[in-house]
Amino acid sequence: MADIAGNKITRFLASVRNKRRNRLEKKDAFQKMLYVLLTLLSVFMLIPLVFIFTNSLKPYQELFIVPPRIYVEDPSLHNFKELFLLSSNSAVPVTRYLFNSAAVTLLTVAGVVIVSALCAYPLSKHKFPGHKVLFAAILLTLMFAPETVGIPRYLVVSKLGIMNTYFGHLLPALAAPVSVFLMKQFVDQVPNELLEAAKMDGAREFTVFLKIVIPTIMPAVATVAILTFQSAWGNVETSRLFMQDESMKTFPFFLGTITSGAANSVARQGAAAAAALILFLPNFLFFLFYQRKVIATMAHSGIK
């Protein structure tokens, strides 16, 4: 009897394996076709990225070939040398613009994350009078184009006396309704019972916020950091409107002036290509490291 039962079990397991094998064999052709199509699509989407890298290494005789080539035949670092030699005789070197961009970007990322988290937490977990109206007003600001608040923003910065300072770069970016919305959506998912238990154990409000809320909403924090980094690193508005001192302007503004004063469309294009790569690379690397956090945040924030 035991042998018969054992044989039945063996035949059953073998039939299950055969069914699984047949299912896999049926899907193999489709999966291979899908992999090929996705690979081709990935290669196609990588073309602009490759072009940015190769374009910065092209000598002038390759920069203006028509139609343009994705690859580079004679790679050279001459464009980068030209970029740093452009301002060698001026009062403000390229490194000063790069330092300003790095400092402003780091300060802006830290400031937006802190302010947005401190705003999202009470809106979500402290039902004070008017919290719904306040949140609705924050969402309402998403409807306004940046140009509509340009003049009020300039007046505020001017009246505060922070023109030609790092605060002039930082302050206009702190009001970030998208960041507040993303963080609030995540804070809403933190169980109220968990926060109440921590308070019953003697944890203060700031301790609850710092030790429980912030670790829980880290995907949203990472997403806000990425979005803020991309916006701040490529921002030229504050340099153009609030900074009259050349030493306080950022690298994206300098990139815009490389060819603007040239006598023709050929001069300084090599330096512009090198500057475009320097401007693009930090954004690319920053997003590459935290892309999973962005996907997790969008999946939980209600954005489709």
Domain boundaries defined on the chain: 2-63, 86-301
What is the C-alpha separation between 199 and 177, in angstroms, rounded?
29
189-201: pLDDT as tens digits: 888 888 888 888 8
Q: Which residue has the higher pLDDT, 127 or 164?
A: 164
What is the C-alpha separation between 154 and 101, in angstroms, rounded?
20
Inter-axis angle of helices 131-140 and 177-187, to 10 degrees?
140
96-135: pLDDT as tens digits: 999 999 999 999 999 999 999 999 999 988 888 888 898 8
- Range with top average pLDDT, 5-14, 168-177, 289-298: 168-177
User: 3-class DSSP state for residue 1?
Assistant: coil
What is the model's pLDDT at position 2?
A: 46
Mean pLDDT, the chain, integer: 81
For the purposes of burial, counting CB atoms within 10 Å of the CB of 224, is it exposed (0-12), middle (13-18) or buried (19 or more)? buried
116 phi, psi to nearest 5 deg: -65, -40
Report residue 26's pLDDT band, with 50, 70 and 90 as the boundaries.
low
What is the C-alpha separation between 227 and 222, in angstroms, rounded?
9
Instruction: Assign domain 86-301 to its CATH superfamily.
Output: MetI-like (1.10.3720.10)
Q: Cα 232 from chain centroid?
A: 10
270-297: pLDDT as tens digits: 888 888 888 888 888 887 877 776 666 5
Q: How many residues does the chain have?
A: 304
Lowest mean pLDDT among 3-12, 30-39, 114-123: 3-12
**Amino acid letter at 124?**
S
What is the C-alpha separation between 219 and 298, in angstroms, rounded?
9
Q: Cα 238 from chain centroid?
A: 19
Q: What is the mean pLDDT of residues 208-216?
A: 89
Share of the chain above pLDDT 70, in %: 82
What is the C-alpha separation between 108 and 231, in angstroms, rounded?
10
**Cis? peptide before 67, omega within 30° of 0:** yes
Q: Are 279 and 55 in contact (CB under 8 A)?
A: no
